[in-house]
Amino acid sequence: MAESDLAWETRDRDVAYSCPGFDVVHEDVVLPDGIETDFDYLHEEPAVVVLPFTPDGEVVVIEEWRQAVDRVNRGLPAGGSEEDDADLDATARRELTEETGYVADDVEFLGAYEPANGIADTVHHYYVATGCTPNGEQDLDFDESIRVDTTDLATLRSAALSGGKSDARTALAVLRYEAERERKR
């Protein structure tokens, strides 16, 4: 079966709801079997997730309230691209500094993933930042409450592998980073 045999035809598209950070898009579609229906999904601009290492190998993490799950989340700095960003490398550097006050000597692209492509068109671009030092100024968005900390990679790996409620972006970044390191050995 060819991919085109599974494709939906979009007949109409509009933004049903818009707020800072994302839109909800409504589409009228025709399924491969001819059934006409509608589909709603979340639209976001490209985002970055940064796995930042200090010169001594610690990982910079943030603790942030997440209203949707009603708890504090311990994870990595992340955020969406903005018009002023020259490219996603610049976005990664900006988000790291804005959320943590840390500045990276270097950022390296790790991979891009669609975290929930059944309900969103979101793409997260993962970066490893090295040589991170607290030489910048934290500049939080109006709706961010963030506490900055450092931890070791083994602790993050344990959290990712525990199967508990952990931040999926952080788990993917850590496991992808370790898989890449293993591949290069």
144 and 58: one domain? Answer: yes
pLDDT tens-digit profile of 28-84?
Answer: 999 999 999 999 999 999 999 999 999 999 999 999 999 888 999 999 999 998 888
Same domain, yes or no: 179 and 123: yes
Q: Residue 169's pLDDT is what? A: 94
- CA 140 to chain CA centroid, nearest Å: 17
Position 61 scores a pLDDT of: 97
3-state secondary structure of 57: coil
- Residues 36, 19, single domain; the answer is yes
Same domain, residue pair 83 and 103: yes
Average pLDDT over residues 100-123: 97
Q: What's the confidence (pLDDT) of residue 78?
A: 96
Q: In whole angstroms, what is the distance from residue 126 CA to residue 108 CA?
A: 9
Question: For residue 97, what are the domain limits?
Answer: 47-184
Mean pLDDT, residues 78-107: 94
pTM of the model: 0.92
Instruction: Flag the least confident range among 32-46, 126-140, 160-174.
Output: 160-174
CA 121, distance to chain mean position in Å, is 12
Where does residue 3 rank: exposed (0-12), middle (13-18), buried (19+ CB within 10 A)? exposed
pLDDT-derived band at 2 (thresholds 50, 70, 90) equals: low
Same domain, 109 and 145: yes
Asked if residue 89 and residue 53 are part of one domain, the reply reads: yes
Q: What confidence category does residue 13 fall into, taking pLDDT thresholds of 50, 70 and 90? A: very high
Same domain (yes/no): 128, 165 = yes
Q: Within this chain, do residues 88 and 52 fall inside the same structural domain, yes or no?
A: yes
Give the count of domains, the chain: 2
Q: Which two tokens stand for residue 160?
A: 């990712």
**Are 117 and 178 in the same domain?**
yes
Asked if residue 113 and residue 151 are part of one domain, the reply reads: yes
- Are 83 and 123 in the same domain? yes
